[in-house]
Structure 1
């Protein structure tokens, strides 16, 4: 993979002597740190080297990514007993593969697709992705959360390729990610929702696995616990995943209807407050997403049989509400 374009990425066309010297010093320092990370025998020395590399991973993103990518990937696979080293590796890789436009610490004048290039280099070896997937099973809070965020970055940068790699790992790969919705630590659960939004996008096979791994049940548990249509942004995230699971997926739509989730969907509308004159902006968003879910279920693109079945289910829910 080419990291170099028609001009040098280490200096501008008319660099100052100071800039050249700074770049040279940074490159030499990064090379020494990589050597230390690879060759040091004391774990404390390796941690210190990686901690320093992480410090350079934004302001010298290109250099750190080019020099240390394989070393960092190897740590995820071969240093599973040292969680501190694993976390530092994940955080450094995350810095390399993201670019924060408004962050002054970021290295200027990089190719626009540099984070995509680094992501493609990392996932070229599928075992690197499998290692990151394995890390979400760690019970340690920091490792689990950092690995979820890292997988989300990989999915964001190379969605289709990552979806295929995760599918190749078998249904258990997707199942691990769905299980994160049951984590009692809300921040883990919420990060998992963001990951699933990307994972389930336009991939019918993954959508089916998520549904049959109790994905609908997990989402409704969160929807109800967060207050239904009166809830906050977590409700919005749940509904976004739900829309992905149902859109253009007749199999999931049938399963959703036959498993009585339509009734639970209607219950989430919080009808006792629908008549309020003034809604918060978040509630407007949530109600809109709830309506989009129903629209998907009765869309003219569905088979007439499925449309009629969904209409019947929704009508029955309305009658039960009136009777109660």
Structure 2
């Protein structure tokens, strides 16, 4: 039987001319002749092995050969797959300048087009991946990954219509050899990019169970790059795929995410890999409760996250010390979407206290960061988003915030949310002004009762002067700003 997946190699190398020395071209032609005509199997093996070596340093050109008699020889198959991979991937170990890299990438795409022109090449490559022989399976995985990188949509289409095509690739995750399993993860990442149909098949082939098992075995957030690859694949499967999201929730996989966020008391010296892993884990939570999902699906996931303790674990990270700034920021954004529009989750968040002496509500601690001009911009914006989500469709929460502005509820010995918002509203820092104003607006949104209550708020502007209403003070400031703007415009016109 003639292996047409091998014949494709000869089609590739015979259609692209790359200028090279005459000596190398002659050597390549001799090797090709040996492969095509030698009667000894060992001679053919040696020839293919030599061609594989040459493919790393020299694009094969103007050649044509056939291995019609060696379809069952795993060594020749392995060398041929390696040769194809070297040509298609242009995976150079040495540094390349930008132009050389671009040229190599373009050639890789061209060679891929030639290879997949006959879809049977890809189909038979999928068949080869069923071989347990390491020297066949591993180069086959690498070659298929390279094909997907270069021509993703076209190769996805071929695999999708190939009988059991996706199932064969899922078997790679069960391979006991870590290098094949790990490269299988990279292959599945490429395979699932932007293709909802393949994403669904992969999910129903027990992908969630296998990936979560690998993440646990590798040490969850303390694990290495394999954990990162699993998380990236999970993101591919779940993002913008409502069917897979529902399957993930119904399979009780949300509950298995909770241990990921048990970071412990000592949060010093986080490795870069741990930060990356935890960041991706937080992104996965956000994918499940994203505001762009259907309201019913989001609400169901929010409920599960509260019931299994995942929300509580996130709030622990929120109030912990020593957490890296970017993880803290992403945790705030994640908690925001877990509580958004969920009364039970919003009530829980309102009850969370920071481990300080005396204890302070988490909302107050976050608002202190929002109106502090020394805090990073992204962190302050994340707190504002969290405050908005806490008040979204939450009339009870809106009333509690506005109440902290009213005279009868003010405790002179403690810092309240209302005091912080008023302080930010009239701060010399313009970002604090904006954040506090937006936050107050959300305390009033779609709530006529709290709008009336806010009119009762009185402010002491300076010692010895009578208090003025919050509305009056805002009007005074706007009037002053408008006056200064008009003066500056007048001066610019006169000049």
Report TM bin, short chain.
0.7 to 0.9
TM-score by length of 1: 0.85
Partner secondary structure for residue 309 of structure 2: helix
Structure-2 separation of matches of 1:102 and 1:139: 28
C-alpha distance after superposition, 1:70-118 (max 9, x if no partner): 74xx66xx6332011001101111111122455389xx79944111111
Change (3 A) 1:272 1:119: closer
In 2, the alpha carbon distance for the partners of 1:152 and 1:47 equals: 25
What residue is the counterpart of 1:10 in the other structure?
19
Q: Answer with 28-37 or 82-91: which moved more.
A: 28-37
The within-5 A match list for 1:160-175 is: 160-170=153-163, 172-175=164-167
Q: How does 1:159-238 map to 2 (within 5 A)?
A: 159-170=152-163, 172-238=164-230
How far residue 320 of structure 1 moved from its aligned partner, in angstroms, is 10
Whole-angstrom distance in 2 between the partners of 1:204 and 1:101: 33
Mapped pair 1:283 → 2:281: no
Q: Is 1:117–2:110 an aligned residue pair?
A: yes
The residue matched to 1:213 in structure 2 has which SS? helix
Alpha-carbon distance change, 319 to 221 in structure 1, aligned in 2, over 3 angstroms? closer
Please say if 1:42 is aligned against 2:73. Answer: no
Bigger mean CA deviation after superposition, 54-63 or 87-96: 54-63
Per the alignment, do residues 192 and 238 of structure 1 end up closer, same or farther by CA in structure 2, a change over 3 Å counting?
same
The answer to which structure, 1 or 2, has the higher relative contact order (CA under 8 A, 6+ apart) is: 1
**Aligned twin of 1:33:** 31
- Which residue does 1:20 correspond to in 2? none
Question: Once the 2 structures are TM-superposed, how far is the Cα of residue 267 of structure 1 from its aligned partner?
Answer: 2.4
TM norm structure 2:
0.56
Secondary structure in 1 aligned to 2:71? Answer: coil
Structure 1's unaligned 5+ residue stretches are: 12-22
What is the CA distance between 1:274 and its match in structure 2? 6.6
User: How big is the alpha-carbon RMSD for the aligned residues of Structure 1 and Structure 2?
Assistant: 2.5
Post-superposition offset of 1:3: 5.4
Rate the CA distance shift 1:175–1:223 in 2: closer, same or farther, 3 A.
same
- On the 8 A contact 1:223/1:268 being kept in 2, the answer is no
1:261 corresponds, among 244, 253, 259, to 253
Is 2:139 aligned against 1:157?
no
Structure 1: distance between partners of 2:260 and 2:146: 31
Give secondary structure in 2 for the equivalent of 1:41: coil
For structure 2, the residue ranges without an aligned partner over 5 or more in a row are 1-11, 314-495
Judging changes above 3 Å, is the alpha-carbon distance between structure 1 residues 214 and 274 closer, same or farther for their aligned structure 2 residues? farther
Q: Any idea what SS the aligned residue of 1:86 has?
A: helix
